[in-house]
């Protein structure tokens, strides 16, 4: 994605930028960094960090991304120091040692591997974080590690028969298969292309886009399926019928990013087909995935079915952020200012219904009536909150 202006001119007066750099990021940087190593996994409602001794590579990668991107927006400073902290821990603790490859699922605070499983979802987020860390710092080792991580995935996680990547290594037969790791690997390959200008990463993104069009996209309903059998046929029963509004919206944004970066490399008919799929996902998500009534009207549900029937009426934070990004993507694609206005309005809904009085911490999950279902905030969700607000800052600064 494009980075919001770092010149300190008009950018300094945008609401989203001010909220991110003046409130959210300083709050989290002051609380989530563990001097012993890495980032804490969660905060409670009072903003106190959980002292749990396990560090997931997913959380470390996501927060390294957040502070790298924040450093780009802020011009370095404390955000750069936080990004360095995350990168140093990832490199020291989570990269497999003793001849192994890839990134461990979890480690201890001082770096001992707790779960050596190499999860495809985690590998994707490491590549994504390394791309952004390179953009923030110019780190050559970050690019080298990203390339090595993708090479590991090709060797050990690639499915040579049915395409795509297995869920995890070394046990590669885990079912059901999911679209989700591939979605985030697409995000990572696009970030690497933007960080390096290397067309190879865009080609890799194109392979994942083809997998989406061929298997993930349900043309009958215009929706995104989640769970699959080994051959990418739809999983039976409830898993195969699950539709997550947040992922419909996330793919809308990613398709827009791919189209932006691919530019004239794509034939006109392919561009039109992808634009149509993005519009279909957006239409499905807005028609069926947003609550039309009640205390939390307008907020995205956790899950529906292919016909739009409600499966899970509760509401997590992250689908709200993905709806914001999807609205911005449709604004970018169509120029319709109503989409930009809806993104701003939904950001206000998000902050009104989920955020505590400090404006920087939130309840992560609420019932349909607004009751709090959890009382801690997983640190990894900051990735979603940050990226949506960064996109808002970008369009505000371009206005």
| Confidence category of residue 100, pLDDT binned at 50, 70, 90 | low
Does residue 128 have a pLDDT over 90?
A: yes
Secondary structure element (H or E) that encloses residue 64, with its range: helix 57-74
> Which residue bears the tokens 């560090």?
55
Query: The pTM is what?
Result: 0.97
Does residue 8 have a pLDDT over 50?
A: no
CB 224 within 8 A of CB 179: yes
Domains observed in the chain: 10-398 (1.50.10.10)
Answer whether the bond into residue 176 is a cis peptide, omega within 30°.
yes
Q: Quick one: average pLDDT of 180-204?
A: 99
CB 93 within 8 A of CB 29: no
Q: Convert the pLDDT of each residue in 32-56 to its tens digit.
A: 999 999 999 999 999 999 988 999 9
CB 296 within 8 A of CB 370: yes
Joined together, the tokens standing for residue 344 give: 């701003």
- Name the 3-class secondary structure at 315: strand
Q: Convert the pLDDT of each residue in 266-322 to its tens digit.
A: 999 999 999 999 999 999 999 999 999 999 999 999 999 999 999 999 999 999 999
Note the pLDDT of residue 277.
99
Secondary structure element (H or E) that encloses residue 300, with its range: none
Does residue 99 have a pLDDT over 60?
A: no
Average pLDDT, the chain: 95
In order, the DSSP letters of 193-245 are HHHH--HHHHHHHHHHHHHIIIIIEETTTTEE--EE-TTSPBPSHHHHH-B-H
| Confidence category of residue 101, pLDDT binned at 50, 70, 90 | confident
Does residue 203 have a pLDDT over 90?
A: yes
| Confidence category of residue 9, pLDDT binned at 50, 70, 90 | very low
Percent of the chain beyond pLDDT 90? Answer: 91
Q: Quick one: average pLDDT of 84-111?
A: 86
Answer whether the bond into residue 170 is a cis peptide, omega within 30°.
yes
DSSP state of 380: G
Paired strand residues for 217: 224
Q: Quick one: average pLDDT of 344-359?
A: 97
In order, the DSSP letters of 78-135 are HHHHHHHHHHHHIIIIIB--TT--SB-SEEETTS-EEE--EEHHHHHHHHHHHHHHHH
Tell me the helices (H) and strands (E) count for the chain, helix number first: 14, 15
- Strands 42-44 and 54-56, bridge-based pairing: unpaired
């Amino acid at each position: 994605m494009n980075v919001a202006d770092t010149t300190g001119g008009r950018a300094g007066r945008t609401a989203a930028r001010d909220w991110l750099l003046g409130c959210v990021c300083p709050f989290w940087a002051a609380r989530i960094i563990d001097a012993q190593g890495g980032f804490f996994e969660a905060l409670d409602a009072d903003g106190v960090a959980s002292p749990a001794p396990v560090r997931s590579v997913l959380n470390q990668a996501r927060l390294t991304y957040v502070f790298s991107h924040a450093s780009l927006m802020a011009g370095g400073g404390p955000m750069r120091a936080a990004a360095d902290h995350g990168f140093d821990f990832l490199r020291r603790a989570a990269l497999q040692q003793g001849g192994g490859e890839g990134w461990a699922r979890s480690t201890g605070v001082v770096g001992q591997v707790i779960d050596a499983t190499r999860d495809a979802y985690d590998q994707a987020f490491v590549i994504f974080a390394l791309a952004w860390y390179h953009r923030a710092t110019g780190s050559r080792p970050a690019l080298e590690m990203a390339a090595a991580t993708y090479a590991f995935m090709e060797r050990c996680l690639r499915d040579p028969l049915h395409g795509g990547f297995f869920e995890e290594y070394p046990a590669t037969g885990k079912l059901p298969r999911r679209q989700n790791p591939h979605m985030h690997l697409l995000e990572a390959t696009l970030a690497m292309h933007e960080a390096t200008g290397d067309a190879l990463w865009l080609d890799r993104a194109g392979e994942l886009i083809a997998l989406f069009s061929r298997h993930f996209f349900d043309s009958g309903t215009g929706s995104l399926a989640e769970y699959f059998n080994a051959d990418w046929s739809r999983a039976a029963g409830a898993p195969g019928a699950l539709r997550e509004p947040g992922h419909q919206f996330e793919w809308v944004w990613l398709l827009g990013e791919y189209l932006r970066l691919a530019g004239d490399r794509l034939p006109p008919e392919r561009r039109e087909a992808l634009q149509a799929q993005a519009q279909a996902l957006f239409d499905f998500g807005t028609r069926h995935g947003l609550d039309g009534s009640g205390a939390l009207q307008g907020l995205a549900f956790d899950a529906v079915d292919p016909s739009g029937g409600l499966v899970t009426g509760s509401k997590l934070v992250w689908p709200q952020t993905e709806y914001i990004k999807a609205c911005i993507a449709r604004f970018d694609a169509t120029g319709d200012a109503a989409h930009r206005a809806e993104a701003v309005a939904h950001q206000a809904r998000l902050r009104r219904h989920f955020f505590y009085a400090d404006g920087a911490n939130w309840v992560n999950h609420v019932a349909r009536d607004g009751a709090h279902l959890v009382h801690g905030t997983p640190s990894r969700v900051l990735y979603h909150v940050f990226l949506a607000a960064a996109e808002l800052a970008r369009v505000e600064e371009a206005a």
